[in-house]
Amino acid sequence: MQVFKEFHSQNVVLRSLNATFLVLILNKGGASDVNNFKPINLVGSLHKILAKVLTNRLKRVIGKVVSNNQNALVRARQILDATLAPNEAINSRKRSSNAGLVCKLNIEKAYDHVNWKFLLSVLEKMEFGPKWRQWILFCIYTVRMVVLVNGSPTNFFSTPRGPRQGDPFSPYLFVLIMEAFSGLIAKAEEGGFIMDFKVVARGGEGVQVSHLLFVDDTLLFCEDNKDQLKFWK
């Protein structure tokens, strides 16, 4: 409990608690190609407990700041929604006999491309308090990693960006990052740059759908014309 009291009052704990051992596991193919290896982070148990506490706090409010387009990690939203909603959108379009476009985005190494300053700006925009932002900043900024080669550690190094794989709150932070992208799409809709799908269930009035998210997996829906493709490009 002393560690938690220190972290709450001073926003810091010993940096050594945030050290991570990185192990490369052969994922596919041969060992001669480094791209065939998958990195596994071995995080200290005390830091994971601390991160879990922050995650549990974040779970309580994430549904208040994340739009309905995001179907992951938000209470009262189920993983089935991520598959049923796109199917309903496509089936509705087929029933209306109107052509449309559906694009799937796959963000390569999504966590590795997260800029810390941008993440903190998103948290501030969503009105997370200064102390909370300092807690998150400490957890992601003080990460020190060391690669285990044949069981032996090499030299420590720091990571320049991205929440760490293996931290309980990393997926939640990325969901907040994707909400900024969702907001850009909403602004484009308001400006008339994209025309979304109107999904009409049998006997219903229907809703407008431009995109659906499941963490970093993104589906885009728009009208069938070249201007729409140029905008998304």
Kindly state whether residue 173 falls inside one of the protein's structural domains: yes
Quickly tell me which residue has 């694009």 as its tokens: 103
Residue 33 lies in a domain: no
At residue 108, the pLDDT reads 75
Q: How far apart are CA 79 and CA 86, in angstroms?
A: 12
Whether residue 37 is contained in a domain is answered as no
In angstroms, the CA 181 to CA 166 distance is: 24
In whole angstroms, give the CA distance from residue 170 to residue 214: 14
Q: Residue 193: which domain range?
A: 51-141+161-232
Three-state SS sequence of 159-208? CCCCCCCCCCCHHHHHHHHHHHHHHHHHHHHHCCCCCCEEECCCCCCCEE
> Has residue 60 been placed in a domain?
yes
Higher-confidence position of 22 and 18: 22
Domain count, the chain: 1
180 vs 228: which has the higher pLDDT: 180
Share of the chain above pLDDT 70, in %: 96
**pLDDT confidence of residue 58:** 93
Question: pTM above 0.75?
Answer: yes
Mean pLDDT over 117-145 rounds to 90
Averaged pLDDT, 142-160 = 84
Note whether residue 46 is domain-resident. Answer: no
User: What φ, ψ does residue 214 adopt, rounded to 5°?
Assistant: -135, 95
What's the whole-number average pLDDT of the chain? 83
Residue 2 lies in a domain: no
Q: Please say if the pLDDT value at position 100 is more than 70.
A: yes
Mean pLDDT score, 84-113? 80
Measured CA to CA, the distance from residue 69 to residue 67 in angstroms comes to: 5
Whether residue 74 lies inside any domain: the answer is yes
**Strands 144-149, 19-26: pairing kind:** parallel
Residue 93 host element (H or E): helix 81-96
Note whether residue 55 is domain-resident: yes
Confidence (pLDDT) at 113? 80
Instruction: Tell whether the torsion through CA atoms of 171, 173, 176 and 180 is positive or negative.
Output: negative
Question: Cα–Cα distance between 206 and 98 in angstroms, integer?
Answer: 15
Q: What is the DSSP string of 127-154?
A: T--HHHHHHHHHHHHS-EEEEEETTEE-
> What sign results for the dihedral spanned by CA atoms 215, 221, 226, 231?
negative
